[in-house]
Amino acid sequence: MDWDQILKEATHYFQEYIRIDTVTPPGNEIEGARFFKKIFDREAIPCQIYEPSPNRGSLLATLKGDGSKRPILFLSHIDVVPVEKEGWEVPPFEGVIKGGYLYGRGTLDCKSLGIIEMMALLILKREKISLKRDLVFFATADEETGGRWGVQWAMENIPSLRESEYALNEGGHIILNENGIADRYAISDGQKVIFQLRLKARGTAGHGSMPHPDNPNVKLICGLETLTRWETPYHILPTVKEYFCKMASKQPPYERALFEDIEKGLSDPSFSVWLTSSPIYNAMLRNTISLTILQGGSKANVIPSESTATLDCRLIPGTNKEEFLKEIKRRLGDEIEVEVIAESESLPPSSLDTDLYQAIEKSASENDPGCPVVPFLLPGATDSRFLRENGIITYDFCPFRLTEKELMRVHGNNERIDLENLRFGTKMLVDLIKEIAT
């Protein structure tokens, strides 16, 4: 296998893909779907475009197996988030290469994943590898704004997708330490549950010159004052326990035992405070509440008659939503109305007892001996929830080697990726498929 040539080819496609502006809104993902279709057609890999709403296109390509095992799905999304052009060192939609990095919106999230998934299909086809399961490539619309015209639509309308046994999607990576050494293979097997609330306080409108006790703004901030101080109890899933246990060997000696048994560890008050000062660890261990929108009044001398707030709550899967809501209402007090405005299904994490997970572990031990493979609970939401809803074992894992600092560029300015990742990532995907599908 001439990997230099493959890297060159992948880089060329990647640049073309970045040059297609798929900022959502409006998305215009159809152009990205057509880009893939042209390539798959040339390689004689059957594919089809779906366009459930004008210009919101997704592309599905299938490399057929003999059907003795169920399909595996390679998922990625075509849409990207907007840019603040002034903040960029290079134009974000030109595919500029500088110092070994390709810059542009979508280079991390997640056009690069689409490219290595496509390259894996091309390689397996060209090598005439006979597969036991279908390998399904699916690049979709509408991830960044909710999935309605992408994966959610597809799971309802393309029955063959629901037959998949496994799916790989964006979310986890191979995290490098500051010396460029692999620290962990982070595989997200589950995600927090979305539970968003709108609060409303009502009162009596009046002149700002004559304060009175029935001011909705005051009622709202008093309720929120109590609520936002709430330290929700720890709710530790087995997969989170395993994460900390596997990370124990990376800690300084005095913290190892605390990580090894995280439930016991968290009973140590100073360790508990220290650990949860990390927003990501905090989010893995408990239900969280973020006050994201506050609205009340529009004129300096008018007391309004109502004010509202929005809470973005993210729950540990398995949390009883009714109980949680009851507790929220109790803490806010009787005068605040609470309405649920968005929620996702509470889905348990995907099983780790699979040949796919073992294949990832095997690949990790070959590439980076001694580096732990750790499951983690994703605080945010990805399209994977629609797959897990349909019983598909889904791992959010994109085999790119990145430092945490590089990852901070996702959705930010000067998003970029070290191009060597295209070689490594494609190779790892090909290896995984050979391991579990031949």
74 φ/ψ angles, rounded to the nearest 5 degrees: -100, 110
For Zn ion, the closer CB: 59 or 220 = 59
Q: Least separation, in Å, of the C-beta of 207 and Zn ion?
A: 49
Q: Candidates 8-16, 146-154, 168-176, 287-295 — which segment interacts with Zn ion by CB under 5 A?
A: 168-176
The least CB distance from residue 262 to Zn ion, in Å, is 29
Task: Please state, in angstroms and rounded to a whole number, the distance separating the CA atoms of residues 192 and 380.
Answer: 6
Residue (110 or 437) nearer to Zn ion, CB: 110
Binding mask 288-327 for Zn ion (x = CB under 5 A): ----------------------------------------
- Gap between the Cα atoms of 226 and 132, Å rounded: 57
Residue type, 66: D
For residues 201 and 398, which CB has a smaller minimum distance to Zn ion in the complex? Answer: 398
| Between 92 and 372, CB nearer to Zn ion | 92
Closest distance of CB 61 from Zn ion, Å:
20
CB of 151 vs Zn ion, minimal distance in Å: 12
Q: 299 by DSSP, 3-state: which? A: coil
**Which parts of 169-198 interact with Zn ion (CB under 5 A)?**
170
Q: Considering the complex, what minimum distance in angstroms separates the CB of residue 77 from Zn ion? A: 6
Q: What is the CA radius of gyration of the chain?
A: 24
Instruction: Tell the smallest beta-carbon distance from residue 318 to Zn ion (Å).
Output: 25
Nearer to Zn ion, 109 or 368 (CB): 109
Closer residue to Zn ion (CB): 109 or 431: 109
Specify the residue, 170 or 183, whose C-beta has the smaller distance to Zn ion: 170
- The one-letter code for the residue type at 324 is F
- For the bound state, the minimum distance from the C-beta of residue 108 to Zn ion, rounded and expressed in Å, comes to 8
State how far the Cα of 259 lies from the Cα of 252, in Å rounded to an integer: 10
Of 74 and 234, which CB lies nearer to Zn ion in the complex structure? 74
Helix (H/G/I), strand (E/B), else coil: 339: strand
Residues 342-361 interacting with Zn ion (rule: CB under 5 A): none
The region that residue 146 occupies, defined by phi over 0 for left and psi between -120 and 50 for alpha, beta otherwise, is left
Site for Zn ion in 78-137 (CB under 5 A): 109-110
Q: Which residue is nearest to Zn ion (CB)?
A: 109
CA–CA separation, 16 and 7 (whole Å): 14
d(CA 76, CA 140): 6
Count residues binding Zn ion (CB under 5 A).
Answer: 3
| Distance, CA of 196 to CA of 193 (rounded, Å) | 10
Pick from 130, 150, 143, 122: nearest CA to 47: 122
Instruction: Quote the least distance from Cβ 109 to Zn ion, whole Å.
Output: 4
Nearest approach, Cβ of 291 to Zn ion (angstroms)?
25
**CA 266 to chain centroid:** 27
How many Cα atoms within 13 Å fall on the side-chain side of residue 86?
A: 0
**Residue position matching structure tokens 């913290």:** 255
Nearer residue to Zn ion within complex by CB, 170 or 415: 170
Closest of 277, 315, 314, 276 to residue 292, by C-alpha:
314
Instruction: Give the distance, in angstroms, between the CA of residue 1 and the centroid of all CA atoms in the same chain.
Output: 32
Q: Which residues bind Zn ion (CB under 5 A)?
A: 109-110, 170
